[in-house]
Amino acid sequence: MIYCKKTRLFTLHRLIFFLFNPERGKGLLLRFSYVIIGGKILEVLNITPVKLDDEGNKLILLDQTLLPNDEKYIHLKDKESIWEAIYKLRVRGAPAIGIAAAMGLYVCIKQSKAADYDELYNEFKEIKDYLATSRPTAVNLFWALDRMENCLLQNKHRPIDEIKAALHREAQLIKDEDEDICRQIGEHSLSLLRPGMGILTHCNAGTIATSKYGTALAPIYLGHERGYNFKVFADETRPLLQGGRLTAWELQKAGIDITLICDNMASIVMKKGWIDAIVVGCDRVAANGDAANKIGTSGVAIIAKHYGIPFYVHAPISTIDINTETGKDIKIEERPGEEIYKAWYAKPMAPEGINTFNPAFDVTDANLITAIITEKGILYPPYTESIKRIFK
C-alpha cells in the first residue's frame, strides 16, 4: 500500500515535471491541446455538404436553409429538385454550387435511356442548360457544367456506359480537387495573418460552402489548429443570414472564438481597433480584379479602406473569370423582395406590397482589395497583370 502510494506520487511528480519543464513540457502541452482542438475541428470538417450516394444514383445535400436548427440531408435525383435546391440556397457558396451542379448533372444523365451518343448529348445539353439557369452570379456553376461537357465530348467515341462512368469520375474529381484547393488557399492566406488577430468575415465562405475547409474560413481553421487564437467577427449578412445561421454555426462548432454582429455594426468594430484583417470569399472575379461577393461585401471593403485594414478576397482559380472584363459585366442575381421582410419572421416586417430591391451580390472594386488569395498563390495589384500571369 505504502509502496503503491509512493509510485503514484512519483508518477504525479514526473507528470508535473513534464508539463512545466520549459523544454519538454511545452511540447507536451502543445501536443495535448492540439489533439483536443484537432478533435473539435475534425467534427466540423467531417461534414460533407455535397456528395453522391454510394451507387451514384442520388445527390445528397446538407439542407443549409434549415441550419442552424436542423442538420438534415436531402436526397435528390431529378433535375427539377436539383435546380430548386440550388435556387433556394439549400446548397450555396460558389464552389459547393459548382460541385452540386456537376454531381446533379451526372445523376440525371445516368438515368438516360439514350441508345447512341447524339441522343445522350441532346439530353445532357438540355439538363446542363436548365441547371445553368438556377443562379447567375457564381461562375463556378458554369465552370463545373462546362467541365462536365468537356468530359462528355472527350469520351464521345466510347460506349454509353463508359461515358457515364467518365462523367461520374469527373464530378467526383471536381469535388476532391476543391478540397485540396481550399487547403492551399488556407495556407497562403494564413501566411498573411498573425496569432491573436481580430478577423471580420462576411457571409459564409466556410466548409459548407465548399467541399472542405472553405475559402475565407480555411485560414481560420488552419490557424486554430496551430494555436493562433483568432478572434473572429461574423457579419450576420442580411437578408438570408449566411453569417448568423452558417458561419456562426460552423465556427462555434469548431470551438473558435466567434462573435456575431449585425451588418451595420461592421464599422464600429473596425473603429474600436478590434479588426486586423477582413477575409471574404467570392463568387466571380473579373479580369481586372473586381470581385462579386455576397451583398454588403463592398460596403465592408469601403469601411476597411477608411480604417486602413487589409481586405483579402479568397478565390479558387475557377472563380476567376477572365472572359468578364470588369465588375460591370458581372450579372448580379436579384431575388424576391419577400426575402427581406418575410423569410425569417413569423409576421411580415414591412407593410404588404412594399417596393423592394434585393440584389444578392455586389461588386467590390479592385482598388479596395489588398490581395486575392488563390490556390496558386497570392495576387496583388495591379490585378489585370497578376491575373493574366496566373492563367499563363
Q: Which residues are catalytic?
A: 283
**Pairing relationship of beta strands 320-321 and 311-314 according to DSSP bridges:** unpaired
| 313 is a contact residue toward ligand MRU (CB under 6 A) | no
Tell me the window of 105-113, 209-217, 222-230, 344-352 that interacts with ligand MRU (CB under 6 A): 209-217
| 375 is a contact residue toward ligand MRU (CB under 6 A) | no
Tell me the window of 103-111, 150-158, 202-210, 302-310 that interacts with ligand MRU (CB under 6 A): 202-210
**Pairing relationship of beta strands 59-62 and 73-76 according to DSSP bridges:** antiparallel
**Of the residues 236, 283, 362, 375, which one makes contact with ligand MRU according to CB under 6 A:** 283
Separation CA 259–CA 269 (nearest Å): 11
Distances (CA, A) of 278 to 53, 199, 246, 368: 37, 6, 18, 12
Closest by CA to 267, choosing from 350, 324, 202, is 202
Tell me which H or E stretch contains 201. strand 198-201
> Which cell numbers in the block locate residue 270?
473596425
Minimum Å gap between C-beta 167 and ligand MRU is: 24
Separation CA 299–CA 359 (nearest Å): 14
CA angle (310 as vertex; 306, 316 as ends), nearest 5: 130
Where in 59-98 is the site for ligand MRU (CB under 6 A)?
89, 92-95
Minimum Å gap between C-beta 273 and ligand MRU is: 25
| 210 is a contact residue toward ligand MRU (CB under 6 A) | yes
| 203 is a contact residue toward ligand MRU (CB under 6 A) | yes
Separation CA 305–CA 382 (nearest Å): 17
Cβ proximity to ligand MRU, 79 vs 90, nearer residue: 90
Closest residue to ligand MRU: CB criterion: 281
Minimum Å gap between C-beta 197 and ligand MRU is: 20
| 247 is a contact residue toward ligand MRU (CB under 6 A) | no
Closest by CA to 358, choosing from 376, 342, 338, is 338
CA angle (305 as vertex; 299, 309 as ends), nearest 5: 110
Separation CA 218–CA 185 (nearest Å): 7
**Pairing relationship of beta strands 59-62 and 50-52 according to DSSP bridges:** antiparallel
Minimum Å gap between C-beta 279 and ligand MRU is: 10
168 CB-side CA count, 13 A: 16
**Of the residues 134, 184, 293, 364, which one makes contact with ligand MRU according to CB under 6 A:** 293
Separation CA 392–CA 388 (nearest Å): 7
Separation CA 189–CA 374 (nearest Å): 9
Minimum Å gap between C-beta 45 and ligand MRU is: 14
Cβ proximity to ligand MRU, 170 vs 283, nearer residue: 283
Tell me the window of 72-80, 111-119, 167-175, 204-212 that interacts with ligand MRU (CB under 6 A): 204-212
Cβ proximity to ligand MRU, 250 vs 283, nearer residue: 283
Where in 338-357 is the site for ligand MRU (CB under 6 A)?
none
Site for ligand MRU (CB under 6 A): how many residues?
A: 19
Tell me the window of 44-52, 70-78, 113-121, 277-285 that interacts with ligand MRU (CB under 6 A): 277-285
| 275 is a contact residue toward ligand MRU (CB under 6 A) | no
> Which cell numbers in the block locate residue 367?
482598388
Tell me the window of 12-20, 100-108, 121-129, 279-287 that interacts with ligand MRU (CB under 6 A): 279-287
**Of the residues 100, 193, 209, 241, which one makes contact with ligand MRU according to CB under 6 A:** 209
Separation CA 196–CA 274 (nearest Å): 11
Residue 174: CB atoms within 10 Å: 24
Chain contacts with ligand MRU (rule: CB under 6 A): 89, 92-95, 138, 203, 205, 209-210, 214-215, 242, 281-283, 293-294, 360
